[in-house]
């Protein structure tokens, strides 16, 4: 396998690509906390070995092969996150850094055994989908809590894992996966919300709301599995 550094570059390119579309030298520089010059060098290397397409001064995009490799690392990262929470009883805000290291030393066999021991999970502790071994990423349409209106109800399906502080604060408010949220009030000028979770009411900022993703509240009675899943399959080969 590639070095830890190369793997983290690929993963970052993949994530930025999914989230922002364009991946620039400076976005990678910021994300990986490495100088732009170093990124530029690494990009050249990745392009040479066929993991990315590079248009100088324009940006970078994963090749098929690069994407496959990136998704594989994402899969390992998320499997380890499940392990840390389910088996080792970590909190969801404590797992990122550990998984960031574990993902690089995971052999195919280890990945397989871990997956099996965990019962073939499909989501990580933040609600992110775990890619299959074949590299398929099934993403459900999710709305951010910030997009809901007063009076609506929803269920938490994902919380952005980009900041441990956000995660810690969310769980302090009781906002964890599968919790039901009622929107009691919404201030349009700043997007902040008054919400009810498990009987308690909280004010949350628009900023925080953008990190919380939800699905329409399940129909209580039937179809607890197929509620409004506008399934979007991000498979290898299609750029997301």
Q: Which does residue 124 touch among Mn ion, a copy of itself, DNA, none (CB within 5 to 8 A, set by kind)?
A: Mn ion
For residue 178, give every residue at least 6 positions away whose Cβ sits within 8 Å of its Cβ, in sequence order, or none: 155, 156, 157
Q: Which does residue 45 touch among Mn ion, a copy of itself, DNA, none (CB within 5 to 8 A, set by kind)?
A: DNA
Q: Which of 19, 22, 101, 223 is close enough to bind a copy of itself by CB under 8 A?
A: 101
Q: Is 177 in the site for a copy of itself (CB under 8 A)?
A: no
Q: Which residues pair with 202 in a beta bridge?
A: 195
- For 48, 60, 100, 159, 235, the CA distances from 51, given in Å and listed in that order, are 8, 10, 21, 30, 17
User: Interface with DNA by CB under 7 A: which residues?
Assistant: 2-3, 5-6, 24-26, 29, 32-45, 54, 56-59
Q: Which is nearer to DNA, 62 or 214 (CB)?
A: 62
- For 60, 81, 124, 181, 191, the CA distances from 169, given in Å and listed in that order, are 35, 19, 19, 16, 18
CA–CA separation, 193 vs 32, rounded Å? 33
Q: Is 1 in the site for a copy of itself (CB under 8 A)?
A: no
Q: Which two tokens stand for residue 56?
A: 């100088």
Least Å from the CB of residue 97 to DNA: 16
User: Interface with Mn ion by CB under 5 A: which residues?
Assistant: 8, 81, 100, 124, 126, 128, 161
Helix (H, G, I), strand (E, B) or coil at 11: helix
Q: Which does residue 161 touch among Mn ion, a copy of itself, DNA, none (CB within 5 to 8 A, set by kind)?
A: Mn ion
Least Å from the CB of residue 75 to DNA: 21
Among the candidate windows 62-70, 104-112, 143-151, 164-172, which touches a copy of itself by CB under 8 A? 104-112
CA–CA separation, 82 vs 208, rounded Å? 24
**Placement of tokens 């290397």 in the chain:** 45
């Amino acid at each position: 396998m590639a070095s830890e550094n190369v793997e983290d570059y690929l993963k970052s390119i993949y994530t930025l690509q999914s989230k922002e579309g364009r991946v620039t030298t400076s976005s990678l520089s910021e994300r990986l906390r490495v100088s732009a010059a170093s990124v530029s060098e690494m990009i050249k290397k990745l392009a040479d070995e066929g993991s990315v397409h590079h248009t100088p001064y324009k940006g970078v995009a994963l090749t098929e092969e690069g994407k496959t490799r990136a998704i594989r690392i994402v899969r390992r990262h998320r499997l380890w996150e499940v392990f840390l929470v389910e088996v080792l009883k970590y909190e969801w805000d404590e797992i990122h850094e550990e998984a960031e290291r574990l993902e690089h030393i995971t052999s195919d066999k280890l990945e397989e055994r871990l997956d099996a021991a965990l019962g073939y999970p499909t989501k990580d502790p933040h609600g992110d989908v775990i890619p299959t071994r074949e590299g398929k990423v099934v993403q459900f349409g999710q709305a951010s809590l910030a997009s809901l209106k007063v009076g609506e109800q929803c269920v938490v399906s994902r919380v952005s894992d980009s900041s441990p502080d956000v995660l810690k604060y969310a769980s302090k408010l009781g906002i964890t996966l599968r919790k039901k949220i009622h929107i009691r009030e919404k201030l349009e000028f700043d997007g902040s919300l008054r919400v009810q979770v498990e009987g308690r009411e909280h004010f949350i900022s628009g900023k925080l709301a953008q990190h919380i993703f939800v699905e329409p509240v399940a129909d209580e009675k039937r179809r607890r599995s197929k509620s409004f899943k506008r399934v979007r399959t991000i498979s290898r080969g299609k750029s997301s």
